[in-house]
Amino acid sequence: MIVTGAEPRAASLTDEPYWTTFAEIADWARENTVSSVFSCLAVHGAVLHLDGVTRHKLPTKCFGVFAQTKTRHHPLMQDVPRTFRIPHARWNEVQEEDLSDCGYSVLTWSAEAGVDCFVKQQKNSLFVHFQGHPEYETQSLLGEYRRDMGRFLRGENEVCPTIPRGYLNKGAEEILIAFRQKALSDRQPELFADFPADQLTRDLSNVWHLPAQHIYRNWLQYMVSQPAGRSKPLGSREAAPSAAGIPAHRHGRKLVAARSARLARSPNPATKRRLGYYE
C-alpha cells in the first residue's frame, strides 16, 4: 500500500477532515500488508497515530531538491548511491531523536532537509516513510510553486513563495527571481498570466528518478520475498453483505454494491476487466 501526502487543511493533524479514516487505514495496514509506504504529510500522520511522534513547524517551507546521505545499510537502499537528491515540499518535519526514541531506523538524512527515509516494523508490516517525494515527476515542484504564487497574487496567501532550492539551473532561477520581485513590487492577480512556465520547464532535469527507481524496485523485491498471507478487506468488521453477496461499506455502500452487481451480470469479460471486476 502507498499513501501519499495532501495539502494541510488544519493546524493539527487530528483536526483534518480525513483523520479518522486515515487512522483506520494505518491500523489496517500494519495487520494486513507486507509493507506500506507513506510520504510527506502521510508520514506525519502515521507516526503520530501509531507512536505519538509529533511534527514540528518549520520557520520557512522546506522546498526544493536536496542532497541526502545513506546512514545505514538496509535492503531498501541496495544499489542506491551513498549520496543522492530527493524533492521536498513541506512546512513541518519529524525529527531524528523523536523517531529513534520510538524505534524507527533512519536510512537517509540531509543537512538541509533533515530526515528523509526511515522504517519500522509495525506488527505484520514494514512501514516505509519518506518526508520527501521520491515519486514526484519532473515538473511537480514547479507546479506547486506556480500554485502558491497564484494564491499570493490573488491575496489568498500573505507570504510570497520562495524559489525552490537545487531545482532550477542558473538561467531559469534568474528568470523566476525576476518574476518574484515583480510580484512583490506589483502584486495583482493579472500578473499570474505572465508566469514564465515555458521558459522554466525548458531545461528541467529529474535527478531523483534513478535512485527513486532503485528504492521502489527494492521495496517490491522485499514484498515478493516475504511469505504470503491472507489479509482482511479494509473495513471488513463494519461491512454488511449486500443482496448480491458483496460487502457494502459504509462509505458509498449503495454505489459499491450496485456497481459490483452490475458488473457481475455483464456478459462481456473485457468490460469486466476494464472496470475492475474479478471473479
Q: Look at residues 92, 95, 68, 94 and name the one whose alpha carbon lies nearest to residue 82.
A: 68
Residue 40 known to be catalytic: yes
Cite the beta strand spans of the chain per DSSP E: 2-3, 35-39, 56-70, 83-93, 105-106, 108-110, 114-115, 117-122, 125-130, 240-241, 247-248
Rg (CA), the chain: 22
The one catalytic residue among 40, 62, 102, 117: 40
Cite the beta strand spans of 40-82 per DSSP E: 56-70
Report the distance separating Cα 80 and Cα 95, nearest Å: 23
**What is the spatial order of strands in the sheet that 56-70 belongs to?**
83-93, 56-70, 108-110, 114-115
Report the distance separating Cα 27 and Cα 122, nearest Å: 9
Q: Which residue matches cell numbers 530527493?
A: 86
Q: Which residue matches cell numbers 475492475?
A: 276
What are the angstrom distances between the C-alpha of 262 and each of 183, 236, 274?
54, 22, 14
Q: Which residues are catalytically annotated?
A: 40
